[in-house]
Structure 1
C-alpha cells in the first residue's frame, strides 16, 4: 500500500508483501491516535496483519481515514474509525469509550498523533503556537493514556511516538523538539508507575520519515525538505516503522519497559 504525498517527497509505502503476519496480536484490541496517515497508518496495517482489531483516531482528513479503514479491512481485521481531537480531553475519553463499547476493552494504546511547525527564531513562536504543540503532542498523549488505563489489564502495552529530535535537537523545530523530549520523560516515568499493574510502556523514536508531517517545511524552506535524509542516504519509509510497534505491542518484548527503539537510519543519539 503506497501513497504519493507530494512531489518533493518519494512515494510513501505503508506495508509490503515481505511482511508476513503470524498472529502476534491475534484478537488484541488496539487504539492508535493519529492512525489515519503516516506512521500511524503503517502501524494500523501491520497490527491488522497480525490479527488485531484496530481502531484509529483521526483529526480532520476523512479521505485518509477511509483509506486506512479499507487497508485494515483488506487485511481481514475489524476496523473502527473515530474522529476527534487529541488536544481535547473529552475527545480522547470518548474515543476510548467507543473502543471499549465495541470490543470490551483495550490491550494496546499507540500514542502517535502529532504536529510540527518550523521557525527560524524563538521570537517567531507565539504563545498560541507553543501551547498548540504541547496540547497536541503531549497533552493528547496524557489524555488518551489516562482514559485507556481504566480499561487496560495486566499484559497490556502502551507505545508512544517520540522523535530523534528529542535526542539530537533541531534548530528550526524547537517547540516540537521540546514536546518530544517531554514524551521521553513521560514514557520512562509512567513505565515505572505501571510496573505493579503489569502494563508495559515503551516508545519509538523515528528519524526523518516520508510522512505528511514533513510538509510543514514546504512553505518554510523547500531546500530543507529536498535535502532531508539520514546517514543511510535516504528518508525512512512508514513500513519500516510498523514492525517496531508490533514488537513492542506483543509478548516478544515482554521483558522491555521504559525503553526506546531508535529507527533513524543510523543517526547516533546516545540515548
Structure 2
C-alpha cells in the first residue's frame, strides 16, 4: 500500500484496459463524507467506461443521487471490475431507481455504439445524462513510433466513440438533458510521451465547445471534466513501474487524485445546479494552472 499519499508501490499491467481489482492500492471511489441530495432523482444515465476508475466513481455518485445507471465495459478484460461495479451500484442506488445494467462492447465502432444506446433505451425508455468517458493510452518516445493502426485504435476509443454514442443517444434525449465528456489536463498543457492520447483529449475539448453551440437551442447542455493525474487502472496499464510509483508527484499538491475527488464535478454538470453551464470544462487537477 502507498504509505504517504504521494508514492505508489511499483507495479505494471501488461494489457489495456487495466484492471482495478489487481491494483495496489485499490483506487478510492467512495468519499465517506459525501452527502447525496437527490440531485439526479428519476434520471437515466449512460456512462461509457464505467466499470472502473473515474467511471466507477461517477456511477457510484450518480446512483447515490437517485439516477438509474447503465455503463459499458470491455468484455473478457473487465468482467470482474464490471461485476464489482454492478454490485456497488445496486448496494448504493435509491429505492426509486431501476436495476443497473452493464453492457460489454468495443465502442470504437458506430454499430456497437448504436447497439449500446438501443439496449439502454429498450430497457429504460430514454437517456437523460450521457457521460463519454472511455479511453486508452500508450507511452511513446517519438511521433515516428505511432503508426496508422496504433493511431486509429486510440482515436477510435477516445474520440470516435464520443461522436458515435452521442449521435445515437441524442435521438432519445429531451430538453434539459446533459452530455458530459471526459478530457484531460494534457489537452491544455501537452504531454510529450502521450502524444496521440493528448491529441484525442484536445479534440474532445473542441467537441465540447462545438456541440454545446449546436445543442444550445435544444436546451441540451454539453460540458466536460479535465482531470489531472488520477489513480486509475489506466496508469499501471500505461506506464513503466518507476513512473507509476511516482505518479502525480509533479503536480502542485504533490500527489495523484483519487476517483472520488473527480466524480462530484460530473454530478454538478449532470444536475440542475449547473443549469447555466454549457461548453465549459471543469479542472480537478491538483493545482495545475491551465488556460481554460
The farther-off stretch of 182-191 and 88-97 is 88-97
What SS class does the counterpart of residue 226 from structure 2 fall into? Answer: strand
Cα deviation 1:149-173 (Å, max 9, x = unaligned) = 0000100000000000000001100
Aligned-pair Cα RMSD in Å: 1.1
Given that 2:137 and 2:238 are in contact with CA atoms closer than 8 Å, whether structure 1 keeps it comes out as no
1:95-174 alignment to 2 at 5 Å?
Answer: 95-174=116-195
Q: Is the 8 A contact 1:214 1:225 kept in 2?
A: yes
> Is residue 215–residue 221 contact of structure 2 (8 Å, CA) maintained in 1?
yes
Higher share of residues assigned strand:
1
Distance 2:21 2:174 in 1: 39
Q: Is residue 276 of structure 2 the alignment partner of residue 250 of structure 1?
A: no
Q: Counterpart in 2 of 1:233?
A: 254
- Structure 2 CA distance for partners of 1:216 and 1:76, relative to 1, 3 Å: closer
What is the aligned partner in structure 2 of residue 48 from structure 1? 63
Aligned partner of 2:242 among 201, 223, 238: 223
What is the distance in 2 between the residues matched to 1:268 and 1:216?
27
Instruction: Measure, in 2, the Cα distance between the counterparts of 1:147 and 1:225.
Output: 37
CA contact (8 A) 2:30 2:260 kept: yes
Q: Does 1:214 align with 2:239?
A: no
Q: 2:44 aligns with which of 29, 32, 38?
A: 29
- Aligned partners of 2:280 and 2:55: how far apart in 1? 20
- Structure 1 unmatched ranges of 5 or more: none
In the aligned structure 1, how far is the partner of 2:117 from the partner of 2:92? 23
1:20 to 35, 53, 59: 35
Task: Name the SS for the 2:46 alignment partner.
Answer: strand
SS, match of residue 268 in structure 1:
coil
4+ residue runs of structure 1 moved beyond 2 angstroms?
A: 3-7
1:6 is the counterpart of 2:23? yes
Return the structure number with greater relative CO, CA threshold 8 A, min gap 6. 2
Aligned length: 265
Of residues 81, 98, 104, the one that matches 1:64 is: 81
Q: Distance in 2 between matches of 1:268 and 1:164?
A: 9
